[in-house]
Structure 1
Amino acid sequence: MDNALTKVGSFWISKKAKQEISNISHDISSFSNAVEEKAKWVFNKLKVKPLKPLPDFLRDYNLPSGLFPRNITSYEFDESRAKLIVYMPSPCEVCFKDSSILRYATRVKGTVSRGKLSRIEGVKTKVLVWVKVTNVSVESYKSDKIWFSTSGVKLSRPKDAYEMPRDGAKVEEF
């Protein structure tokens, strides 16, 4: 006999059956590792503190709570890099109390610090033409002005015009 059968306990098992058992054991181990990794991922997501509503988050950074439309989809904040990403259901624009207009892409990115949203991508304002907004800042808690920096121009607007979140009107393109 060429050792085609192996005795395991009181059972004789062929080499092929032995290989199948080994394969099944390997598959179970791989599946178990995948489940464990996903469980760790879910646990880490759950232990991250939930985000505040965006208006409250902005207020905490001394930015007007109505800087973004009310109808955002969601937002993310990476505290370690101070990166804010705000998601909209579609490109939209908001006309504020002072008649200024901001237009938002479906995703707006920027870096947040006390009284400032800088390196902005995804926001435009209308001066005579649409220009990209690169920074938004408020000088102090007591300031009644908000400053919008665009390509070479700094616009001062009344801060209270941006205090209440407004609905964004859908536009075809950013």
Structure 2
Amino acid sequence: MASPSLMPFVCLVLLCLKPFPATPVAADETLSAYEALQQYDFPVGIVPKSIVDYELDRSTGKFSANLNGSCRFPLLNSYQLNYQSTISGYISEDKLTQLKGVSVKVLFFWIDIIEVLRIGEALQFSVGITSASYPIENFLESPQCGCGFECNDELSKGIERDLLVSAS
């Protein structure tokens, strides 16, 4: 038996020998992707309602989220946003970086959004060479694929019906 003075050292060695997971841990079963976003000080409205699952490595901030297909909708009456079926990047408080899978249509071109920063009560979206800021109040609710933030029941039912018809 180890002497009492060596006991803390033995416990420390045993803890260090305990195996740690080598792969990212699956997302917390009790938190939705939207709740996880809020933990990093982001509003739920920066992603559409169609997220079905996600993974988040809390030690690095690396994440990926799966939508139930690609998703496109208008934003602020002047832009179109497109989310691929998988989006990924790194998240930390008030910062999303190295984003993949999100783009915005500017004039006739689709440009990747690579970073989103929360600066006070605004969100700054960066496409690399330039960025634009919008009040956070524009993103308090998640947009819906097809109609974005401008959905009403009849419109969203029509879009869902059109999507079902085109999928079959």
TM-score tier, shorter chain, comes to 0.5 to 0.7
Q: What's the CA shift for 1:95?
A: 2.7
Q: Could you tell me whether the CA contact under 8 Å between 1:69 and 1:94 is conserved in 2?
A: no
Would you say how many aligned residue pairs link Structure 1 and Structure 2?
123
With the length of structure 2 as denominator, give the TM-score of the two structures.
0.65
With the length of structure 1 as denominator, give the TM-score of the two structures.
0.63
Tell me whether 1:55 sits opposite 2:54 in the alignment: no
The root-mean-square deviation of aligned C-alpha atoms, in Å, is 2.4
Structure 2 residue corresponding to 1:155, chosen from 101, 124, 132: 132
- 1:123 corresponds in structure 2 to 102
- 1:136 corresponds in structure 2 to 116
SS at match of 1:59: helix
Question: Percent sequence identity over matched residues?
Answer: 24
Q: After the TM superposition, list the runs of 4 or more consecutive aligned residues in structure 1 that deviate by more than 2 angstroms.
A: 98-101
Structure 2 residue corresponding to 1:166, chosen from 139, 143, 146: 143
Q: Aligned partners of 1:78, 1:94: CA distance in 2, in Å?
A: 29
Task: Return closer, same or farther for 1:87/1:152 CA change in 2, 3 Å cut-off.
Answer: same
Aligned-partner residue type, residue 99 of structure 2: I
Structure 1 residue corresponding to 2:83, chosen from 104, 115, 134: 104
Q: What's the CA shift for 1:49?
A: 4.2
Q: What's the CA shift for 1:58?
A: 1.0
SS at match of 1:160: helix
Q: Aligned partners of 1:160, 1:49: CA distance in 2, in Å?
A: 27
Structure 1 residue corresponding to 2:65, chosen from 82, 86, 105: 86
